Structure 1
């Protein structure tokens, strides 16, 4: 059975699916129902996502192609085919991105928000900008000419640079020069004006001054350019005596990585492009000429300019849990479990739980995993204080969290200095699970308090990532959490865990068993139903298991935000499977798994997606939800996600995504959650959520 499902035509390509996700984000930037400045932020997100796409996915494909590997992916594409299709699709997105950018600027101008060029200013304003340049920008600039005595400099990854073609005024020889647009200065420079909000890009203030910087030469041409480098880190953990120092060294080497993309203004003459291609060793296929400013991530800052509230989403205040304001969190958890759903509910209970534990004389130990934390993490501060207060504090800091390595190294050193026992996980695996354990001495003995969830312990991203977690004092959950931490810090076996399942040990087998149970019920003529919400679905084995379930008659509803390599609605194969993606104001990040189980419904929340890396290459957790009230609430949440017709797109059999049709009423799941997650919110049916609430 399984072999017959292993057909390339049954699967989508991973890179193209990821680009389809970025297309959906771009659609939010084009969506006129969204406020203007929020649309600007969506365009910034697309630009940032494409950076990561090249640093990781394209870079990986490039390495495979260079090694002349011919292995096909699950969709039957060779590495070269995947690369060509990815570059072609990316060019289409980039073209559409800049068209949308131009249209957005025109709309913003109607509200007095403008980006102007130096030459457009009157003499008085030019004088002000000249003064700003001379005092704030000029001292930071380092112009570099490339000749026999001066080799081509190291161009840093993702920095904006200006390339110049110069001619000597005396010898009339042409030379190339480059200058980095200072990343230490704001990219958007305010321009004084009596009304409206006028800005100039930093590079557009530097360009008119290039003749002064290179006064002995005539500037023939100038243009902005930017490079993206391979972000892969190759760390031999087996031979690393000190993993922290090894990763620190690898980070330093990253700046020497191969150039995987060159972005350059479309006005750039061929001579400059050829020089950069030769010096940077980048092929023409990886050169992107853009019709507008290079690097649109600055739009996130533009979206945050002061005022103009009518052009932004209405500020949302997360719901608080009144009971936790009135009583100690430990007292509440001794009586019942608590569900937290961010950002619709405040992240404060988690922060305050660690802070309270740090100062509570009854707390003996705190153990926590940290994957991505904020730059000024109150949780890390509390953990450090707990250790200084004499408590046993164990923190697993994942040093290999991509693009957060430096931040995590900083926190690891701080925690160690404070007396925490810092561990770096299991050799060969990333530790991606999200779990907190607090051991407290009470009248009737030791009580273990646990938080397990789907998201990072990050107080900043908790404001715009949707994540779910459960706080509990359940004895068996506490036992399982203890076993997990003993496994992470030593060689303890995870075989005795009952409420929590972990990857890579048993999580895949657990999912397969849960799906097999639904298959058994379907074959017996009983109702069988699976709902799974996740960020990505890219595990061939899991996809084939879902096909098997669909063929048996199991109803499968998937909510997959990003990559999805499963092809739905194939006759006789996946016609019982629907896939929808929710892309809206908040980044959908929660992982929820529901199984009907012949009426004895089971619900799990997890840190893991159905991707090969999560199930086979990472330490992940999945915890069962047993509290009946919380189960009902999560079922209600899933129902709302499945009813969304504002932020939802349905995956088609051809790989395209189509917005869900609005029929009788508008349902915006993310706005609806604000009502559902209020204290004592009534159980409600899906109600109208009007678009003006977004404005």
Structure 2
């Protein structure tokens, strides 16, 4: 008898499928070679975070003895086994792809070699580099009765070393030591090319250290040297209500991360059995072991590719973001926004416009206040500098900084302190809720009254990721949106009774219910025999109630197109439940990050921008924002953008009822790649 499929795809298994789609980009020979290497790096970084957060959480459930199934039908133990099996298979494919990519790079003159493959002159150069630069940084750490096993930091690379005394007998047990590969030094070491050769040659730092490992252990003979790497539980556990100072509490938790419970151990394939047994015993790792046939931690490839000069033929064609032409009409951005709303589509349009807006507000004598949220900020943020200047100029500057943005906590703590020193009012949000909304409010005095200028976005106020992610930003002076923006900041920073939002949908209070009403309206139109259509673009869809609501709409006859880059727990195309739903995922040069929702609404089409994915955490446990786009012309631009995604037959994959993804079949003789077509945004914004 055929086993009936669950109505839902498991979230974590869906994530594995997403990372597999990233891996497929590394395998796609249509992509430039150095870009394929970048995708290999992203696969590793993604898997690191998945292991340290999601898999770590499942292990916590197993240790607590939980055996209850989740809404997709999995117990923690059953899910863990399946995840490890699929992750192991994916890592095997990743390293097979790595070997293929490095072979192709070698043909192009970019060679990562073993030290033994170098000629005498090159070996001499590597020896000099080791003794002058590397050796002084290294610290060998022996393990014996007087020296306990040292702390192994999460996601750092180490060498396990087995040694014998020079006069030892064959029966003596090996001695064990570890050496950390210093992350402060480059993972890849350039070596002078051979005579009359145009090749660029490199060796890996761990191979250099292994070559000269005997210099660290005088009087002993190293006979086995193997790389290993540990991943620890990195999820923060905060008691916000009991914390007198949230900033200090998070700093304490960040220090505890170094002692997190081991989750995964990666070792070089063929590791000596004694070394492997020692590591497993000391680190208390039983099952989650990955034997790697190649260099551990391929995330170094991102910097490696970025450090190579030239080779433009092996990269994507350069794409310079254009400055939004609406703002070319006047030096006064306030004047432009007063006249009309302005939509920006990153990375095709430059994030510099947002920086310039805040900077103009900082120096404008009529600006009284600036308020904004910061979730993830770049290392050299022009926005933060502009906010500091505004505060120093006497403006009322309020910044809601999210200290709990995972893996950006330390950077956000530093920014919070810098802003406070400049005189900004820094708020850390509400207890128990992450502030994930992306909103900027400027209050300006004009002709005896106050006018509010608002920017809302689907992505972070981060000028680095704005060149790598596709996101939407909207500038508006619409009074209804301005009123909602003021109310939102009042709720986050002070005491405020529940507000009746005029335009916004705000989580956790009413965003989910507002989305439900919009979906139900389409369902009712379908039941009445009218055309009904929903298009929703987001990063993830995993909330069970939201999925059930979409199933109801599908059963009523609503056509539903979902563009979900990552996790999707909805199972489309199931007769009687979801036959009217299609789900697509696009993984391409840029990370698809925009959240855009479209509702046909009987021909009175509505479009919304949002910071929120349709996940339980976004709808119930975060401060999120959904904002309507009132301007008809801008609505049509966004509808066209969604249609571009739905027409993609190069990088789009379609989710099948099985829970697996398949490439979209070509629709014509001319391949259609939405991210490349989106470069024409200025044309369909009406700027020839």
TM-score in terms of structure 1 length: 0.96
Matched-pair contact (CA < 8 Å) for 1:396–1:422: yes
Aligned to 1:255: 258
Task: Kindly report which structure 2 residues correspond to 1:205-604, keeping only aligned pairs within 5 A, or say none.
Answer: 205-283=208-286, 285-304=287-306, 305-327=308-330, 328-604=332-608
> Does residue 197 of structure 1 match 2:200?
yes
> Does residue 159 of structure 1 match 2:162?
no
Aligned to 1:73: 70
User: 2:625, 2:530 → 1: CA distance?
Assistant: 30
Match among 637, 658, 669 for residue 641 of structure 2:
637
Q: How has the CA–CA distance of structure 1 residues 271 and 681 changed in structure 2, closer, same or farther, with 3 Å as cutoff?
A: farther
Q: 1:362 Cα shift?
A: 1.1
Q: 1:65 Cα shift?
A: 0.5
User: 2:429, 2:384 → 1: CA distance?
Assistant: 18
Q: 1:325 Cα shift?
A: 3.1
Matched-pair contact (CA < 8 Å) for 1:164–1:177: yes
Matched-pair contact (CA < 8 Å) for 2:27–2:97: yes
* 5+ long unaligned stretches in structure 1: 1-6, 684-695
Matched-pair contact (CA < 8 Å) for 1:341–1:677: no
Aligned to 2:676: 671
Aligned to 2:91: 94
Q: 1:626 Cα shift?
A: 0.7
Aligned to 1:185: 185
Between the two proteins, the alignment pairs up a number of residues equal to: 676
User: 1:399, 1:494 → 2: CA distance?
Assistant: 25
User: 2:91, 2:479 → 1: CA distance?
Assistant: 53
User: 2:496, 2:504 → 1: CA distance?
Assistant: 15
Aligned to 1:692: none
User: 2:401, 2:577 → 1: CA distance?
Assistant: 43
Q: 1:171 Cα shift?
A: 4.5
3-state SS of the aligned residue for 2:90? helix
Aligned to 1:134: 131
Match among 17, 24, 29 for residue 27 of structure 1:
24
User: 1:588, 1:493 → 2: CA distance?
Assistant: 36
Matched-pair contact (CA < 8 Å) for 2:324–2:344: no
Matched-pair contact (CA < 8 Å) for 1:40–1:303: yes
Q: 1:326 Cα shift?
A: 4.0
Aligned to 2:627: 623
> Does residue 176 of structure 1 match 2:173?
no
Deviations 1:216-256 (A, max 9, x none): 11112110000000011111000111000110111011100
Deviations 1:391-414 (A, max 9, x none): 100000000000000000000000
3-state SS of the aligned residue for 1:303? helix
User: 1:372, 1:528 → 2: CA distance?
Assistant: 37
Query: Comparing 369-378 with 485-494, which one deviates more in the overlay?
Result: 485-494
Aligned to 1:144: 141
User: 2:99, 2:448 → 1: CA distance?
Assistant: 67
User: 1:302, 1:681 → 2: CA distance?
Assistant: 40
Deviations 1:583-602 (A, max 9, x none): 00000000000001111111
Deviations 1:113-144 (A, max 9, x none): 10011111111111111111111111100011
3-state SS of the aligned residue for 2:299? helix
Aligned to 1:45: 42
Give me the CA root mean square deviation: 1.2
Q: 1:417 Cα shift?
A: 0.7
Q: 1:677 Cα shift?
A: 3.6
Matched-pair contact (CA < 8 Å) for 1:537–1:611: yes
User: 1:325, 1:180 → 2: CA distance?
Assistant: 53
Deviations 1:244-271 (A, max 9, x none): 0110111011100011000000020111
Match among 8, 12, 34 for residue 9 of structure 2:
12
3-state SS of the aligned residue for 2:373? strand
3-state SS of the aligned residue for 2:285? coil
Q: How has the CA–CA distance of structure 1 residues 680 and 563 changed in structure 2, closer, same or farther, with 3 Å as cutoff?
A: closer
User: 1:131, 1:325 → 2: CA distance?
Assistant: 55
Q: 1:490 Cα shift?
A: 1.1
User: 1:582, 1:628 → 2: CA distance?
Assistant: 27
Q: How has the CA–CA distance of structure 1 residues 682 and 526 changed in structure 2, closer, same or farther, with 3 Å as cutoff?
A: farther
Matched-pair contact (CA < 8 Å) for 2:326–2:342: no
Matched-pair contact (CA < 8 Å) for 1:534–1:560: yes
User: 1:442, 1:196 → 2: CA distance?
Assistant: 63
3-state SS of the aligned residue for 1:10? coil
User: 1:421, 1:371 → 2: CA distance?
Assistant: 16
Matched-pair contact (CA < 8 Å) for 1:646–1:660: yes
Query: Comparing 355-364 with 488-497, which one deviates more in the overlay?
Result: 488-497
User: 1:360, 1:249 → 2: CA distance?
Assistant: 40
3-state SS of the aligned residue for 2:42? helix
Matched-pair contact (CA < 8 Å) for 2:355–2:383: yes
3-state SS of the aligned residue for 2:6? helix
User: 1:349, 1:71 → 2: CA distance?
Assistant: 50
3-state SS of the aligned residue for 1:313? coil
Matched-pair contact (CA < 8 Å) for 1:483–1:493: no
